[in-house]
A and B are shown apart, each in its own frame.
Chain A
């Protein structure tokens, strides 16, 4: 079946992009179509990719994680986005950020980007808030 072959070829290219085994990406002047297919492969579609054993770890939920979850749910409740739009935005972060950030850091990162994209907040407002929080934390410590 030809689709078996296509999938195997795609997986080979995607595997080369996985964090543990890098293809050097240096903005080449041209790329092949199959390399383009692999590059824009949706990040969360990991089925069939090779992986090693992982240690199972019981992790307590932290306050910032719970707050992130509630913030994102409230944004959905008020019509800013849906879970599917959030997942798409997370995929659009690209492999480096997607696999580099903790799970809920991905959520809050794309929440901020979506609010800016939709004109609900400005980058200046976000910067000002970050500065306010930074100063508050400095005073505490």
Chain B
């Protein structure tokens, strides 16, 4: 059972990474919506170092609003960007007060 369902709001963890990572710096700490489940696969943190039988996790495609990613974004409000994360990189989004 996937921890997050399509439509869930999730925040990308800003966890320290010493070396290789596929979690882009510009997504750290940002909140988006799960739009797709991806198959379980070896997490990049293991696969990148030749641990092909390493830990497997579910992956999620998360859609962000561009305005939430770039402080000086000048494009349309409806512009989005999608990226993929293994489960360890996501946490449930806190309720935002508007």
Q: What is A's interface to B at a CB cutoff of 8 Å?
A: 1-4, 6-8, 10-11, 40-42, 45, 47-48, 79, 81-82, 84-85, 87-88, 91-92
B1 at interface (Cβ–Cβ under 8 A)? no
| B6 close to chain A: CB less than 8 A | no
Asked if B40 is at the interface (CB within 8 A of a chain A CB), the reply is: no
Which A residues touch B17, using CB under 8 A? 42
Q: List chain A residues, Cβ under 8 A from B49.
A: 85, 88
Which of chain A's residues have a CB closer than 8 A to the CB of B8? none
8 nearest A-B pairs in the assembled complex, by CB-CB distance? A3-B29, A88-B48, A84-B47, A88-B20, A48-B26, A84-B48, A47-B26, A47-B24
The answer to whether A4 touches B25 (Cβ under 8 A) is no
A45 near B19: Cβ-Cβ < 8 Å: no
Chain B residues whose C-beta falls within 8 Å of the C-beta of A48 in the assembled complex: 25-26, 69-70
The A/B interface has a contact count, at CB < 8 Å, of 56
Interface size class of B (residues with CB under 8 A): 20 to 34
Q: Give residues in B with beta carbon < 8 Å to A.
A: 14, 17-22, 24-26, 28-30, 44, 47-50, 52, 69-71
* A2-B44 Cα distance, complex, nearest whole Å: 27
Indicate whether A7 sits within 8 Å of B25 (C-beta atoms), given known contacts A40-B18, A84-B44. Answer: yes
| Nearest CB of chain B from residue A87's CB, rounded to whole Å | 7
